[in-house]
Amino acid sequence: MINLGNPLTIAQQEALARLMEGITPEQTAWIGGYMAGFAASQQARSLHNSASPALVATPEGLDSVAIAQSEEKPEITVLFGSQTGNAEKLARAMLSRLIVNGFSGHVEGMGNYKAAQLKRDRHLLVVVSTYGEGDPPDNALGFHEFLFSKKAPQLEGTHFSVLALGDSSYEHFCKTGHDIDERLVELGASRLLPCVECDVDYEEAAEAWMDGVLASLKPTHKPQTDSVLKTESVLVKAYSKKNPYPARLLTNQALTGRGSSKDVRHIELSIADSGLTYEPGDSLGVVANNWPQRVAELIEPLGFNSHANVPSATGGETSLEQALLKDYEITTLTRPFLEKYAKLAESTELAHLLKEDNKAQLREYLVGREIIDVVREYPVPGLAASQFVSLLRKLQPRQYSIASSYKANPDEVHLTVAVVRYESHGLVRQGVASTFLAERVEEDGLVPVFVEDNPNFRLPQNPDTPIIMVGPGTGVAPFRAFMEERETIGAKGKNWLIFGDRNFNTDFLYQREWLEHRNNGLLTRLDVAFSRDTDEKVYVQHRLMENSREVYSWLQEGAHFYVCGDAQRMAADVHDALIQVVAKESGQPHESAIETIKALQANKRYQRDIY
C-alpha cells in the first residue's frame, strides 16, 4: 500500500535529509517558495502539454514585452554547454530564478538537445563556456556543429540571450558564447539582451545577466517568494567558494623519486565533521594565498606603502600587502589588464602589442611573464595603490581533480599536485596553489577548500561496464578515485589504465597501488609510456595506437573512455589517436570515424577532464 502521508522513496527521504543539514531559516524560506513555484510550473506545463494548439499557441508577431502582457507565460528553455559544470550550475540557477518569478521552463544540456527543438523553442537562454583555444565544451560539439551548418533553421520569432563563460587569460576569451550569439542573430532570432561575458570570477556578471533576462521578460504577477536566488545552485552548500571549509593537512608526501625533473606531491586533507561529500570525477577548490615573496617584489617597483589602505575584494578596506596576498591575482597576465595598464603607462609599445593584427607578438610576449614584469618595464609615475588594485582580477581558487573515493575515505580528500616552479626573464616563478600546498602549509595546518561537482566526468551507472582510462602525469588523479570507488562497491566491470610520464624510475605516480590493483584483478590491464626512457619519445597516444584492436574491442563491448590532463597537446593527440583506432579497426572512412567518436561523446561514453 502506498503511504499517501509520505510519498517519498527511502532514497528521496535520505537525499532530502542531507539537503536540510545546515540549512539556515532564510534558506528554508527560499526553498519553500521555490518548491511552491516549481509545483505551479509543473502544473502549468501539464496543462500546456494537454491543451489544444489553439489554446496555447503564441499570437504571431508578439515580442517579449507583449508576451509578458498575456495570461500565458512563455515556456523557456535554458540550454547549457559545460566542460566542468559551471555553465550547468548557472543554467539551473537561471531556471530557479525563472520559476520563482512565475515562469515555466526547463534546463537541457546541448548534448541532449534535439535539432528539431531549436525551431520550436521561442524563448532560449544559452549558458556556454569556452575552453582551450576558443573551443566549445565537449557536450556542445554536436549542437555547435549543427548551428553553423546549412541544416540550421531560420529562427524569426525566437527570443534569446547568451551568457558566455571564459578566462580572459586566454586569447579567445568567451569565443564560443559570442559565436553562438552572432549565429542566432544571423538565423533571424532576436536578442532579449546582448551577450554577457563572464571571466573566472563570474558571479556578479552572471547575476546581472539573470536580472536582465527577468527584466526583459517582465513578469506580470508577484514572485512566489521575496527571496532572490543568487548565482549558486538551489542546493545550497554549507561550504562553498565564498565560505570554504578549513581542512587540516594530514599528509604531504613526495610521489616523484630523487632525481626527477618534477616535484609531484600526494596531499591528504581531513574533512571530518565538515558535511562535505564528493563523487569520483569531482574537483576540489583550494583557496590559496599568493607567494609572500612575490607580493613584496611587486610592491617595491611600484613604490607603494605596503600598509596603505586599498579596497578588499570581499568588501571594505584592507592593507595593500594583505590585499595582494589574499584578494587579488598578481601573476597571470590578461589582455584586459594590459589594455588598462597600457593607457596609464601611455606606452606605445604595449599599445602596439595589443593591436588586433599583432596577436602572434602578444602571445610571444606573454610567455613566461607576469604582472611584475610589466610594472618593472613600464612604470607609471604617480600611480596610486588603490588605482593599481582596481586593475587586478580577484584571486581565484585553484581546482584539483580529487584523487580519492569518498566511500573509501569518508573523512578525507586526496589530491595529486604537481608543484610549479621555473625561471624565466631573470625571475623565479611559482604556482600559486601548488607551492602553497607543498611548502607554505605546515603539518596540521589549515587549507580552505570546497567541492566542485563535475557531472561531465562520471563513472558509468552500471558497475559492470568496462572503462578505459588515459591519464598521463597528474591526470591520473581521478582514476585513482575511480579504482578506489570500484573496489569499495565491488564493481565487476573491467578496468584499463594507460599512464604516461617522463621516467619510469622517478615518475611512475602511485606505482605500488597500480601494481597491487593489477595483481588482485581490479585493474584488468595496465599500459605505460615513459617518454624520456627511450631515444624515440613514446606517449599515451602511441600506446592507444599500438593496442588499437583491443581498444576497439573494449569499445564494442560498451566500454566508457576517459581522458584527464593537458588540453593543449595531450588531449588533442589522444582524440586524434582514438579516431584513427576506430577508422582502422572498423574499416570506416576517417569522416565516419569522427562521427562515431561524436556519438560516444553525446552518449557520455567518452568523457574528458582537461585543463
What pLDDT shows up at residue 66?
34
Burial code of 363-387, b = ≥16 C-beta within 10 A, e = fewer? eebbeebbbbbbbeebebeebebee
The domain spans of the chain are 23-217, 245-288+397-452, 292-389, 467-610
- Taking 90 as the threshold, does the pLDDT of residue 72 lie above it? no
Q: What is the pLDDT of residues 535-556, one digit of tens each?
A: 999 999 999 999 999 999 999 9
The CATH number of domain 467-610, selected from 3.40.50.300, 3.30.70.360, 3.40.630.30, 3.40.50.80: 3.40.50.80
Domain 292-389: which CATH number of 1.20.990.10, 2.40.50.140, 1.10.760.10, 1.20.120.80: 1.20.990.10
Using CB atoms within 10 Å of the CB of residue 6, give its burial: 0 to 12 exposed, 13 to 18 middle, 19+ buried: exposed
CA–CA separation, 552 vs 579, rounded Å?
A: 10
Half-sphere exposure (CA, 13 Å, Cβ side) for 96? 24
CATH architecture of 23-217: 3-Layer(aba) Sandwich (3.40)
pLDDT at 509: 98
- Looking at domain 245-288+397-452, its CATH class is mainly beta
Place of cell 526583459: 216
Its pTM stands at: 0.79
Which band of pLDDT confidence, cut at 50, 70 and 90, is reported for residue 115? confident
Q: What percent of the chain has pLDDT over 90?
A: 73
Given a cut of 90, is residue 315 above it in pLDDT?
A: no
- Residue 418 near residue 262 (C-beta atoms within 8 A): yes
Inter-residue contact 158 to 184 (CB < 8 Å): yes
Q: Which three cell numbers stand for residue 114?
A: 534535439
Judged against a pLDDT cut of 90, whether residue 234 lies above it is answered with no
Within this chain, domains 245-288+397-452 and 467-610 share the same CATH topology: no
> Sign of torsion, CA 382 387 392 396?
positive
Query: 576 to each of 136, 172, 489, 568, how far by Cα in Å?
Result: 17, 22, 34, 13
Q: What is the CB neighbour count within 10 angstroms for residue 566? A: 17
Which H or E run includes 302?
A: helix 292-302
Q: Name the more confident of 263 and 137.
A: 263
What DSSP element (H or E) covers 404?
Answer: none
Contact (Cβ atoms closer than 8 angstroms) between residue 499 and residue 302? no
- Residue 73, pLDDT score: 64
Q: How far apart are CA 149 and CA 456, in angstroms?
A: 26
In angstroms and rounded to an integer, the radius of gyration of the C-alpha atoms of the chain is 26
Report the alpha-carbon distance of residue 350 to residue 358 in Å, rounded.
Answer: 11
Looking at the predicted structure, is the pLDDT value of residue 383 above 60?
A: yes
